[in-house]
Amino acid sequence: MNIKKILANTFSPPVCIFCGKALSFTSDYYVCNDCALTLPYNDGKRCNICCAPLDMVSGDLCCIHCKTTKRWFAQNVSRYVYKDKVANAIKQMKFGKGQLWIADALGKFLAQTVKENYHNVLFDVVLSVPLSKKSLRERDFNQSELIANSVSAALGVQIRRDILIKPVEISKQSGLNFEKRKQNIKNAFLVKNDDFIIDKTILLVDDIYTTGATLNECSRVLRNAGASCVFCATVASTPLYR
Ligand SMILES: [Zn+2]
Ligand SMILES: [Zn+2]
């Protein structure tokens, strides 16, 4: 991202990232009172492993995918359900203007969720889901890394960008079902500098939790490289994906 773009992004006027309403210059929360009260928080019944929203009448503690698939991460938390104003803000971050400050705000909010849900976990490092060099060139930034930067700063836990890499591009995950996503993402990631990762407790950050295939595959390579535990944190979770 060039310096002009960074400055334009960083010094955007303080507006609510969810509805665009102007906020006072002293506000550092990036959310207006109306949105703060009405956003689709993921605080209903949810899978106790991957945090996917579950049917309120379901008697299950975890979703069908966590029952039938080995999870290499200990748990995922998602602050919101991926819909309405939250989906709009994430799309705006990825494809519109103002990527840096939206990602920064979403990261601050996500850090609160991490503190609330993982209050007894001591993290050694924050990692984000990497993009391939090709995607990074096309998009100019990695939204997961921008969010992870903000989470890392808010938690006071170091971030490392030289651990998890995606050597080549894979076909797009969107449009694939649960099983096909799992196959498509297999072996897409590598761990570099694995000396560092041994026995570490990792917080792995991404923007959206869909089937968990990507986070699970990242967690698998990290655990195989010697990480002791991987916890995931995502801004939003889609309703249960089939
Ligand atoms: Zn608002
Ligand atoms: Zn689950």
Which fold would CATH assign to domain 40-237? Rossmann fold (3.40.50)
Domain assignments of the chain as residue spans, ordered by start: 40-237
Sequence-ordered alpha helix ranges (H) in the chain? 3-10, 33-38, 64-68, 84-95, 99-117, 133-139, 143-155, 178-185, 194-197, 213-224
pTM of the model: 0.91
Residue 2, pLDDT > 70, answer no
Reported confidence tier of residue 128, pLDDT bands at 50, 70, 90: very high
**CB neighbours (10 Å) of residue 69?**
18
What CA–CA distance (Å, rounded) separates 216 from 231? 10
Looking at residue 156, its amino acid is G
**93-117 pLDDT per residue, tens:** 988 766 788 999 999 999 999 999 9
Reported confidence tier of residue 7, pLDDT bands at 50, 70, 90: low
Higher pLDDT, 218 or 167: 218
| Average pLDDT over all residues of the chain | 89
Q: What token pair was written down for 135?
A: 């995607």
Residue 19 CA, ligand 1 centroid: distance in Å: 4
Residue 16 CA, ligand 1 centroid: distance in Å: 5
Ligand nearest to the CA of 71: 2
Contacts of 111 (CB under 8 A, 6+ apart): 150, 151, 154, 155
Three-state SS at 193: coil
**214-231 pLDDT per residue, tens:** 999 999 999 999 999 999
Ligand nearest to the CA of 20: 1
Ligand nearest to the CA of 50: 2
**29-56 pLDDT per residue, tens:** 789 999 999 999 999 999 999 999 988 7
Residue 134 CA, ligand 2 centroid: distance in Å: 31
Contacts of 13 (CB under 8 A, 6+ apart): 22
